[in-house]
Amino acid sequence: MKSAEIIMLPVKDRQKAKEFYLKLGFRLIMEAPDEHGDTWIQVGLPDGNTTIALAGFAGLIFETDNIDNEIEALKKKGIDVGKIDNTPWGRFAWLKDIDGNGLCLHQKQGG
């Protein structure tokens, strides 16, 4: 894992939350329908690398250059990782920490 790429914050109303974060000085990175019928809204600070997703649940998404190698290394350590989802935004695989917090690996397209 290279860096914490996206922090997923649970919000009640994604559009109102987006308005709030834009007023704080964040910029809109992406707004698009997701596979669950909701809208994926991602915001970030102008000079920052880590972004925030306004979501229905909490989670952390970590960037990796090679998701297959990362999963193999985690499994060798006894850590269960879910299946890889291939999307237009890259490849994702979810896992949980010992307290049930959602963690996700993300390999960007072309990576």
- Please list the residues that pair with 87 across neighbouring strands: 90
All domains in the chain, ordered by first residue: 3-107 (3.10.180.10)
Question: What does the alpha-carbon distance between residue 111 and residue 101 come to, in Å, rounded to a whole number?
Answer: 26
CA–CA gap between residue 66 and residue 4 (Å, rounded): 15
pLDDT of amino acid 86: 92
Sign of the dihedral through C-alpha 37, 1, 94, 4: negative
Contacts 24+ apart (CB under 8 A), 89-97: 91/67, 92/61, 92/67, 93/67, 94/59
The low-confidence residues of the chain, meaning pLDDT below 70, are 110-111
As given in the structure block, the two tokens for residue 102 are 């959602």
